């Protein structure tokens, strides 16, 4: 079946540290991949996406590369800020008529000053 596995949190970092949040997926065919972010008390916002192998999505200093050989879409940022504290969700979109998004369990990031 289709699934997304994320590293468990919370991930606690100091400001300006390097961030990696791991995400791997299982899917048939070639899904599209997404990272969503949920700030405290808010809904989910799309952070970045990639629609085919080797694509790199990037936004607000965050990056993730669609790696088909390792079925991964790890999220990275070179220097985190306190304002990046949030829950990050990796997701895949099935390439069939269901148009479902399948989410990982979310990873909470805490950035300390």
Site of interaction with other proteins (CB under 8 A): 32, 34, 36, 38, 42-46, 49, 51-52, 87, 89, 93, 95, 97-101, 103, 105-106, 108
Query: Could you give the CA distance from residue 78 to residue 15 in angstroms, rounded to a whole number?
Result: 11
Please say which residue, 60 or 100, places its beta carbon nearer to other proteins: 100
20 and 90 in contact (C-beta within 8 Å)? Answer: no
- The minimum distance between CB 64 and other proteins, in angstroms, equals 14
88 and 21 in contact (C-beta within 8 Å)? Answer: yes
Q: Which residues contact 57 (CB under 8 A, 6 or more apart)?
A: 33, 35, 48, 49, 50, 63, 64, 65, 66
- The minimum distance between CB 56 and other proteins, in angstroms, equals 13
Query: Could you give the CA distance from residue 102 to residue 111 in angstroms, rounded to a whole number?
Result: 27
Please say which residue, 10 or 61, places its beta carbon nearer to other proteins: 10
- The minimum distance between CB 47 and other proteins, in angstroms, equals 10
Please say which residue, 29 or 113, places its beta carbon nearer to other proteins: 29
Please say which residue, 34 or 62, places its beta carbon nearer to other proteins: 34
Q: How many other β-carbons are positioned within 10 Å of the β-carbon of residue 45?
A: 11
- The minimum distance between CB 108 and other proteins, in angstroms, equals 8
């Amino acid at each position: 079946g289709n699934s997304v596995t994320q590293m468990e949190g919370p991930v606690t970092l100091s400001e300006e540290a390097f961030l990696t949040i791991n995400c791997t997926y299982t899917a048939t065919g070639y899904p599209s991949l997404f990272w969503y972010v949920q700030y405290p008390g808010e809904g989910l916002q799309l952070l970045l996406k990639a629609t085919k192998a080797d694509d790199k999505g990037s936004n607000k200093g965050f990056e993730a590369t669609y790696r088909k050989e390792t079925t991964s879409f790890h999220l990275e940022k070179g220097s985190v800020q306190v304002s990046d504290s949030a829950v990050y969700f990796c997701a895949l979109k099935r390439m069939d008529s269901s148009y479902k998004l399948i989410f990982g369990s979310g990873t909470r990031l805490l950035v300390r000053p």
